[in-house]
Structure 1
Amino acid sequence: MKPILRPLLLLGLLFTPLAWADAPTRATHPDGAAIASGHQLATQAGMEILAQGGNAFDAAVAVSSTLAVVEPISSGLGGGGFFLLHDAASGKDIMLDARETAPAAATEAAFLDKDGNLDRDRSVNGAWSAGIPGLPAALVELSGKHGKLPLKSSLQPAIRIAREGFPVYARMAKGYQSRREVMERYAGTREVYLRNGKPIAEGDLFRQPELARTLERLADGGFDGFYRGQTGKLLLAGVKQAGGRWTADELAGYTVKARAPIVFNYNDWKITTAPPPSSGGIALASMLQILEGWDIKSMDAAHRTHLVVEAMRRAYRDRTFFLGDPDFVDIPQNVLTSKDYAQGLRATIHPEKATPSDLLSGNPTPLEDDETTHFSIIDQEGNRVGATQTVNLLYGSGLIPKGTGVLLNNEMDDFALKPGTPNAFGVMGYEANAPKAGKRMLSSMTPTFMENADKVVVLGTPGGSRIITMVLLGILGYDQGLGAQQVAALPRYHHQWLPDVIEAESGAFDEGTIKQLQAMGHRIDLPGDSAAGGRGSSHVWGNLQTVEWDRRSNTLSGGSDPRNPVGSAEVR
């Protein structure tokens, strides 16, 4: 097990003035910090910045930028993300929305071929597939408005690793092979990923000097150091050379949005999570408030799974029709997150029978790809960050504009580019998620906080449309009393309304549970089996990263998904 889990027993516990004499004492802040991320170099980078006197937000800059260097398969400066923040001094929570935006040229018509069909190559590969990146602006915002250290200090670990290099790991090399044909179309990408004409291989030392210089310009110039100046000119030139149409005004006009999180209660937990344009928070509120009407902890596995799946089914149906960029779409958020609405949905669930999805009118749910990354942080002041960032598909668009080292996203495919036509993942979207200039595409990224009288938790994961259900299962795991590493390792299952099938990891259910679920009318898509009408579930999925502060014992712990051999959780 690669995570480093070193719970620290801390002194100085404080009684609250109104507590009963025999009530347990609870610490007001941790005397240490915990970080969990998808790569050990990123976790170490965050700890390095904390040791220099930085807070959780400075550490988040270091972790995020380092992941941009060491996980190009999943995220990067050419992508975007959501950063859920808790400021301990004020007690306030906000979400920084750094989702990519659509260029004005990227209309629905621009993605159709001469016959009026969706041009799939254009929607997922190269310049047309890329939205205006948001991640660099988020790093500037995190440092300037929330951090204690200069941006230049917090970016130093990423700059150093980009310049000096790191060993290529198996997933990175395998992912390159699957996207090699696209990536080698572009001179800028070939310069980074080919060595003497040969592609990167596991164990190679992977250096990115151009990306190091781009990070240095960001460190020196802040926002203008990426979105204007030399980097901006190189990005615009590279997109134009590859046939795309970005403008200098669009690039320089990108803004991070500070949004109010979704907040609701489940049992004795306060849940704080991502609002639109993430679909995750509204879906979580719906699912958990549906489930709150039953004592699922006392049920057998089959009946518990049945009710969880039925809650998933209904939340994902609503996701399709109501959710999009709140700056462009009127979202009935108060209704969708209300207990009354959840109670109405609960009343439609039969405790012993599956509800066929075709009885819930509508059409299939939009997806996003699995290749995303997440990190979770708690610092010694009690500040918290849960961040999920992505470039969408493996290695995004495959395009690196020459001279930048920046691999651009292919998030345009997360829009409904042609309503009613499946995207790269065989699913459809509709008007609420259609592209418009400056609009942000719908996402499933769901960084989340949980807190009650005794515990504080940060969790999140990559996993495309499965992100939301993985976070749901993580919340249910913590509610059942599991620890951080146990939650990170939980087996996973998923239902997204259509296709009408439960997808499950290997070993998620025993044979008895499978038979009971099938007797209730559920179809189950086991790993490698697409006969049930699903996608043919992969053996495992996700990369959950979580940290927990137990205020009774004042101990910190972290959980890093054992499915990812290069991830790590560390407590100091």
Structure 2
Amino acid sequence: MRIAMRKVMLAGFLVSTTLSLAITGCATSGQAADVAAANASPTLTPPGTAIASAHSLATQAGFDIISQGGNAFDAAIAVSAVLSVVEPISSGIGGGGFFLLHDARSGRDVFIDARETAPESATPAEYLDKNGDLDRDRATNGPWSAGIPGLPAALVHLADDYGTLPLATSLAPAIRIARDGFPIYGRLEKGYATRGKVMERYRGTREVFLADGDPPKVGEILRQPDLARTLELLAEHGHDGFYRGEVAGKLLAAVKEEGGRWTAEDLAGYEVRERAPIEFDYRGWRVVTAPPPSSGGVALAEMLQILQPWNLAKLDDAERTHLIVEAMRRAYRDRTIYLGDPDFVEMPIALLTDPDYAAGLRATIHPDKATPSDLLSGQPVPMEDDETTHFSIIDTDGNIVSATQTVNLLYGSGMIAPGTGVLLNNEMDDFALKPGTPNAFGVMGFAANAVEPGKRMLSSMTPTYIASPDQLAVLGAPGGSRIITEVLIGILGYDAGMTAQQVAAEPRIHHQWLPDVISAEPGALDAATVKALNQMGHTVNAGEGTWGNLQTVAWDKRTDELSGGTDPRNPVGEADVVLDTP
């Protein structure tokens, strides 16, 4: 049976895709008997194949590859590449991403780090103006804002090491859609209206988005023949098709034309990294999530382990919110101070994810008084816009991909390299370009995330799954620095017994150490709760708009049923989820 959901109406909103994953679960040490029983029984596999993404063309591309004999990893290449074509506002081969994989045959979890890297020319001084202040324009617009892209290398790596089909087969849907075009939808038009003045500075961007003489409009067909050619070269030559040769030459020329400085060595030297995921236990769940250079997994481990002793469901709204915020405050403080690129920075990961460390942080929480953030030391002790996209795949063998990819802010740097169709990211702003100065998301950074040539900037992207002996749930979201707290609230929802759809729609709060403010969506906190929090010493901004676009799926292994939840906040109009079951 094939179940397809497109343009689903929910609570008055046109909702986006539901992410779909499944994997056999593991339990905590307190459930050793359950684990032993599960290990003695036949291995469970999902009741079909599920693919979900933020655009129907990407989801369909993934199923096209599955139908040709590909596995989840081949399908991931197709989905990622098509999203790179149809979601330039959110991601692209000029950006990077993270891929959390589960290989069913080996039982291995692996994290593919395709984060962008700083070019050789990137030094702190290059991002300061004549007064020594951060040059915000250079940090977020044009060639200086762009790191060396990582996504093309990730697609090659997936094909070479995990897929079963040739890279050219998996990239074929994206090449066709880039060449033939696709209809522009509302978010692309709206985003261009916001970023158009910057984007129109650059010749290559004008050639793509003003090809018909005016800005993109809903319903028009956006064709990208240069991007199709770039993808063809990647399909034919693999890594060298992007990082050397024709495409590399055009990228270098474009960056130079606009005043930037990349080198051939910057491009040719780019490599993805395979890293071990962060894993920890929370109230009977095994949590598998993103390691540095993502800050998400470490922050989740701190927050959830701080909160573990409390039965949050039995607390009133003010008490529960107070404790969650205090956990967020402490985790984001450590994020700011300690975390960065593991190839450059020695980080106390074992300490930060240790339950005893969480217990120490828990002891500093006053039960009914806020801890002012300026009382948490900004010095280390001894020892990322909503414009991101997430997709998820499970195949009938139980292989899993949970992937988040981005170009950072709306349309990245705004700059397309002429002749390539490649829209460059503006991820350099995710470094602490001037230590102690917030980036575009208001996030502070210090030495651990300072810019250095070849270094990967810290990220908040947090592809995650949680598993128990009888249930599996997968979560992922865009949202800049708020991604981590979106995933946290989702996990807490599952632990409280919510359905997948309830988790996706759950109202959100956020605190990131600095600024010392609780951000709350409309309806997340009622007036009485806000008053109680204010009396505790919290500052609450309950008038914010909604944020994020969390997508989740759950597999109940007791009933062998898949269910999904899709976020009603951020309608795209083209989102898609498809489940194929016998």
Q: Is the shorter-chain TM-score for this pair beyond 0.5, marking a shared fold?
A: yes
8 Å contact from structure 1 (residues 58, 143) kept in 2: yes
1:288 and 2:309 correspond: no
Number of the residue aligned with 2:172: 156
In 2 relative to 1, CA 222–500 (structure 1 residues): closer, same or farther, beyond 3 Å?
Answer: same
Number of the residue aligned with 2:551: 545
1:143 and 2:159 correspond: yes
Of 339, 346, 362, the residue aligned with 1:330 is: 346
8 Å contact from structure 1 (residues 36, 559) kept in 2: no
In 2 relative to 1, CA 236–552 (structure 1 residues): closer, same or farther, beyond 3 Å?
Answer: same
Number of the residue aligned with 1:357: 373
Distance 2:375 2:432 in 1: 24
Q: CA offsets, 1:334-384, max 9 Å, x none? A: 0000000000011111222222212212289xxx33321111222211111
8 Å contact from structure 2 (residues 19, 391) kept in 1: no
Name the TM-score, length of structure 2 as normaliser. Answer: 0.91
8 Å contact from structure 1 (residues 105, 246) kept in 2: yes
1:564 and 2:580 correspond: no
Shift of 1:427: 4.4
Number of the residue aligned with 2:125: 109
Moved more, 29-38 or 73-82: 29-38
Distance 2:273 2:17 in 1: 34
Distance 2:97 2:209 in 1: 24
8 Å contact from structure 1 (residues 100, 411) kept in 2: yes
Of 507, 510, 518, the residue aligned with 2:523 is: 507
SS in 1 for 2:80: helix
In 2 relative to 1, CA 279–426 (structure 1 residues): closer, same or farther, beyond 3 Å?
Answer: closer
What is the letter of the counterpart of residue 392 of structure 2?
Answer: S
Shift of 1:216: 1.1
Shift of 1:298: 2.1
Shift of 1:470: 0.2
Distance 1:178 1:321 in 2: 33
Number of the residue aligned with 1:234: 250
Moved more, 311-320 or 376-385: 376-385
What is the letter of the counterpart of residue 54 of structure 1?
Answer: G
Distance 1:560 1:342 in 2: 32
Shift of 1:35: 2.2
Number of the residue aligned with 1:412: 428
Matches within 5 A, 1:51-66: 51-66=67-82
Shift of 1:314: 0.5
Moved more, 543-552 or 223-232: 543-552
Shift of 1:435: 0.9
8 Å contact from structure 1 (residues 108, 417) kept in 2: yes
Of 180, 200, 204, the residue aligned with 1:188 is: 204
Moved more, 510-519 or 403-412: 510-519
Unaligned runs of 5+ in 1: 9-15, 528-536
SS in 1 for 2:558: coil
SS in 2 for 1:449: strand
8 Å contact from structure 2 (residues 516, 539) kept in 1: yes
Distance 2:498 2:64 in 1: 29
Of 538, 543, 555, the residue aligned with 1:522 is: 538
Shift of 1:62: 1.2
Of 87, 96, 104, the residue aligned with 1:88 is: 104
Shift of 1:4: 7.9
In 2 relative to 1, CA 124–6 (structure 1 residues): closer, same or farther, beyond 3 Å?
Answer: closer
Distance 1:17 1:297 in 2: 26
Q: CA offsets, 1:488-524, max 9 Å, x none? A: 2221110111111110111112223222322322221
Q: CA offsets, 1:550-572, max 9 Å, x none? A: 21111222322222323232211
1:299 and 2:315 correspond: yes
8 Å contact from structure 1 (residues 484, 546) kept in 2: yes
What is the letter of the counterpart of residue 555 of structure 1?
Answer: E
Of 38, 47, 50, the residue aligned with 2:63 is: 47
Q: CA offsets, 1:162-191, max 9 Å, x none? A: 122222111111111111111111111001
Distance 2:61 2:499 in 1: 25
8 Å contact from structure 1 (residues 558, 570) kept in 2: no
What is the letter of the counterpart of residue 285 of structure 1?
Answer: A
Distance 2:409 2:549 in 1: 15
Distance 1:218 1:121 in 2: 31
Percent identical residues: 67
Moved more, 396-405 or 428-437: 428-437
Of 263, 270, 278, the residue aligned with 1:247 is: 263
8 Å contact from structure 1 (residues 544, 561) kept in 2: yes
1:492 and 2:508 correspond: yes
SS in 1 for 2:423: coil
Distance 2:320 2:81 in 1: 40
Distance 1:523 1:510 in 2: 14
Number of the residue aligned with 1:532: none
8 Å contact from structure 1 (residues 4, 570) kept in 2: no
8 Å contact from structure 1 (residues 35, 377) kept in 2: yes
Q: CA offsets, 1:433-492, max 9 Å, x none? A: 111110000111110011110122221101011000000011111112222222222211
Number of the residue aligned with 1:533: none
Distance 1:72 1:220 in 2: 23
In 2 relative to 1, CA 31–422 (structure 1 residues): closer, same or farther, beyond 3 Å?
Answer: closer
Distance 2:16 2:406 in 1: 23
SS in 2 for 1:497: coil
SS in 1 for 2:177: helix
Distance 1:5 1:101 in 2: 31
Shift of 1:329: 0.8
Shift of 1:297: 2.2
What RMSD over aligned residues (CA atoms) do the two structures have, in Å? 2.3
Distance 1:283 1:362 in 2: 17
Unaligned runs of 5+ in 2: 1-8, 10-14, 22-33
In 2 relative to 1, CA 168–150 (structure 1 residues): closer, same or farther, beyond 3 Å?
Answer: same
Name the TM-score, length of structure 1 as normaliser. Answer: 0.92
Q: CA offsets, 1:257-312, max 9 Å, x none? A: 00011000001100011101111000000000001011112222222121111110
Distance 1:49 1:459 in 2: 24
Of 236, 249, 260, the residue aligned with 2:276 is: 260
Number of the residue aligned with 1:13: none
In 2 relative to 1, CA 17–194 (structure 1 residues): closer, same or farther, beyond 3 Å?
Answer: closer
Of 441, 445, 448, the residue aligned with 2:457 is: 441
What is the letter of the counterpart of residue 559 of structure 1?
Answer: G
Aligned residues: 550
SS in 1 for 2:287: strand
Distance 1:28 1:425 in 2: 41
Q: CA offsets, 1:115-142, max 9 Å, x none? A: 3222222111111111100000001111
Distance 2:72 2:503 in 1: 22
1:554 and 2:560 correspond: yes
8 Å contact from structure 1 (residues 36, 547) kept in 2: no
Moved more, 422-431 or 34-43: 422-431
Distance 2:333 2:37 in 1: 45
8 Å contact from structure 1 (residues 36, 568) kept in 2: yes
SS in 1 for 2:63: helix
Distance 1:228 1:433 in 2: 28
In 2 relative to 1, CA 548–53 (structure 1 residues): closer, same or farther, beyond 3 Å?
Answer: farther
Distance 1:82 1:159 in 2: 22
Q: CA offsets, 1:2-31, max 9 Å, x none? A: 5688999xxxxxxx99759xxx99871013
SS in 2 for 1:289: helix
Distance 1:489 1:4 in 2: 13
Distance 1:60 1:486 in 2: 27
8 Å contact from structure 1 (residues 34, 558) kept in 2: no
Distance 1:420 1:558 in 2: 40
Distance 2:486 2:441 in 1: 19
SS in 1 for 2:250: helix
Shift of 1:244: 1.0
1:471 and 2:494 correspond: no
1:169 and 2:185 correspond: yes
